[in-house]
Structure 1
């Protein structure tokens, strides 16, 4: 086991593998922070779509919090390892790994569409309903590939879209080590989800990358010695940082919006944890405190605060819980370091059946029951679903065009139909260039029409998923008389 073999400066383009690793990761950092994908996160939903209260989290503010937690986990790991870091080839890599994990945390949501997971569902429902109109799938010579492509287009996934942004749309040309750090799921969109009892089933429970980026992922895996279906080790840290950050953040936003108060939240947390942990709420696993004692202490501090009780409550809840979760995530990484290094640990670091795991489950359950299921959130989700569906309906004429007609319009040989030409002009030029570049090597290959339609569908999904919440709403209003 030698982590230095996986932490290197190899890139696909303009590669200089002999360059200083630290300098190359600093270059990655600049490319990521200055990318349009990061800027768009400031107007994308975390929980509350189209939220005007700036104190409530966006995808960007959430990602910044995940970034800080990721950094905290890395520092804790190195503190715990001490001199043992040498055994794993880690002794000279603390700053480099810290940078990789920070940037993977910042990037982890860049593929999410407007309106979050409800936006994902809207895209998938629409393509599931409408793809059967296209007979070219049944006419293809390679029936298996055409069926796989059809299935993938019904499986839009923000994690996979992130790799499409990195490799195909923005062409950030990140080091393979940096890109692999967000490879949370390892299944290609062409493959079916495996049964739970199968090896690596957790790592393959969602689509991790699309057929369109298969070559990039294959090269990345070869250079970093990642076996098929396995993870890059630092992805476990990005995932843990996300799990720790959002479990409290979503609930805090709910309290900020007045969906429940601190006292009500404290009661829900203690009741739920007692049930989830099988009545172990009095176990002192949080630096000498039980879960109930920690929640009660935060509530007592809030009661004494004369001005901002909510802020005080969550400050002390975080101090007691987040630090403990970070310590546990770091210990879990070290205790399972061989499986993590090999990328075969078939679970998240915090999904270990411990009281810390039960604590994460408690926050998730309380958020689902008392925040996500409220009338305000569900109404906004329904509005988001209607907006995404309406936009896809509006752009459907481009998908209904014959292959020859659409490619002629793209090449400028033909202006296109009355509606189609106007819709075509609304597509981002960088997405159109990605579409054209993907088709260049395919023109004389079998089943070109299937591949062309695949990349045309990706073009439409790229367009819709890249919108911010506000832009999606404005585009919907522009295309439909309101």
Structure 2
């Protein structure tokens, strides 16, 4: 009772209130000790897909170093930032955390290079999209429970996972333009694809940007893809590196990087909080429904920080993501994914059980999806090992 009273007092009227959740697709009894969104968060953490994120990379392939971020460490960083912002804005931080922890579950091995390759070979079969794959994992592919497939999460968590980056039906897009997995699921449970998600999911999306940019600066410096001097002309980032250098003359580089990056993260978090408070005051929402009805995000960077973030992204794209060393690594990664798909689609009897049974009994379109599900679920290490087992004649 004390727990429930605390929640009622802590959450703002415009937060996504757990006691007003739209519920789960498969009805379940409520927990006496956890809110619906806490249960969602816990189910995600205990899922197989979440554990696999430990060995899935974003930019670097796993064998390139032990200290670079993986999808798991990135998801944890996003969740930490999300909780901070949600708590400050009196939003439901458990829901924000659940969306943050789930947002990368659908990614392939080898980061965006792996996704590009899998989408390419899947084009004749409706393509591949990591956001739709996340929904497939949450609603179908996780096979832990006796009474249903997937994790049977609340409507709000699924909505946030699918729409955290904004409405899917916008700028002239129709259902025909969306991944089939999302369209098919929404026939049974409408996730209102033409509107914005609740504020907690919006927070998770901005937290993703904050974490992504800053840990890529950290990883890029540690990998030697660029130097501190290359950052000094960047807005905010350069200012923070110059500030730390002046405050701590002679500081060693690892400490310099950490001190500067944590200040950049803090500045971006404070900017989101200030801009969101300004928008909340202007819109004066009385409920989460009012926020969904605004037609624009309520959680956002200020205009100045938006420009800064775009400048930092452009720098990282040219100096890191397109670096020749990474291009070589990503080229190999794409070939691994293409080789695996082509062989396993042509020879589904090479798939392990029960994937083999699913693929052999399916027509080509469905078989391609089974193979894509199998490959998308691989870690970097497993994909490389599987490629060696199938293509190295002496393995």
TM-score range, shorter chain: 0.7 to 0.9
Quickly say closer, same or farther: Cα 1:220–1:100, change in 2 above 3 A: farther
The CA deviation at 1:47 is: 1.0
Cα deviations by residue, 1:330-376 (Å, 9 ceiling, x for unpaired): 33662557587226645694366x11101111221111011111111
Whether the 8 Å contact between 1:47 and 1:116 is mirrored in structure 2 is yes
Identify which of 72, 76, 82 aligns with 1:70: 82
Identify which of 373, 381, 390 aligns with 1:470: 381
Cα deviations by residue, 1:294-326 (Å, 9 ceiling, x for unpaired): 442133346442473443443453365233333
**Counterparts of residues 172-251 of structure 1 (less than 5 Å):** 172-184=151-163, 196=171, 198=172, 207=178, 210-212=179-181, 214=183, 216-221=185-190, 227-233=192-198, 234-251=200-217
Identify which of 21, 35, 46 aligns with 2:47: 35
Identify which of 364, 369, 381 aligns with 2:330: 381
Quickly say closer, same or farther: Cα 1:41–1:7, change in 2 above 3 A: farther
Whether the 8 Å contact between 1:169 and 1:430 is mirrored in structure 2 is no
Whether the 8 Å contact between 2:166 and 2:195 is mirrored in structure 1 is yes
Quickly say closer, same or farther: Cα 1:98–1:431, change in 2 above 3 A: farther
**Counterparts of residues 44-443 of structure 1 (less than 5 Å):** 44-78=56-90, 94=91, 97-128=92-123, 131=124, 150=125, 153-154=126-127, 156-170=128-142, 171-184=150-163, 196=171, 198=172, 207=178, 210-212=179-181, 214=183, 216-221=185-190, 227-233=192-198, 234-267=200-233, 269=234, 273=235, 293-301=239-247, 303-306=249-252, 308-318=254-264, 320-328=266-274, 330-331=276-277, 334=280, 335=282, 341-342=291-292, 345-346=295-296, 349-350=299-300, 354-398=303-347, 420-421=348-349, 423-424=350-351, 426=352, 429=354
State the Cα RMSD in Å: 3.4
Cα deviations by residue, 1:51-76 (Å, 9 ceiling, x for unpaired): 44222101100111000111111122
Quickly say closer, same or farther: Cα 1:330–1:319, change in 2 above 3 A: same
Whether the 8 Å contact between 2:245 and 2:251 is mirrored in structure 1 is no
Whether the 8 Å contact between 2:196 and 2:296 is mirrored in structure 1 is no
Instruction: Supply the distance in 1 between the matched residues of 2:63 and 2:54 (Cα, whole angstroms).
Output: 11
Instruction: Supply the distance in 2 between the matched residues of 1:370 and 1:204 (Cα, whole angstroms).
Output: 37
Gaps of 5+ in 2: 1-12, 143-149
Whether the 8 Å contact between 1:118 and 1:381 is mirrored in structure 2 is yes
Quickly say closer, same or farther: Cα 1:73–1:386, change in 2 above 3 A: same
Quickly say closer, same or farther: Cα 1:34–1:117, change in 2 above 3 A: same
The CA deviation at 1:38 is: 0.7
* 2:28 aligned residue: 15
Whether the 8 Å contact between 2:175 and 2:183 is mirrored in structure 1 is no
Instruction: Supply the distance in 1 between the matched residues of 2:75 and 2:57 (Cα, whole angstroms).
Output: 12
Instruction: Supply the distance in 1 between the matched residues of 2:322 and 2:391 (Cα, whole angstroms).
Output: 29
Whether the 8 Å contact between 2:240 and 2:264 is mirrored in structure 1 is no
Instruction: Supply the distance in 2 between the matched residues of 1:380 and 1:36 (Cα, whole angstroms).
Output: 27
Whether the 8 Å contact between 1:112 and 1:465 is mirrored in structure 2 is yes
Instruction: Supply the distance in 1 between the matched residues of 2:23 and 2:202 (Cα, whole angstroms).
Output: 21
Quickly say closer, same or farther: Cα 1:40–1:98, change in 2 above 3 A: same
Instruction: Supply the distance in 2 between the matched residues of 1:313 and 1:206 (Cα, whole angstroms).
Output: 44
Instruction: Supply the distance in 2 between the matched residues of 1:381 and 1:343 (Cα, whole angstroms).
Output: 41
The CA deviation at 1:22 is: 4.0
The CA deviation at 1:384 is: 0.6
Q: SS state of the match for residue 308, structure 1?
A: helix
Instruction: Supply the distance in 2 between the matched residues of 1:302 and 1:370 (Cα, whole angstroms).
Output: 27
Whether the 8 Å contact between 1:104 and 1:178 is mirrored in structure 2 is yes
* 2:365 aligned residue: 454
Quickly say closer, same or farther: Cα 1:461–1:360, change in 2 above 3 A: same
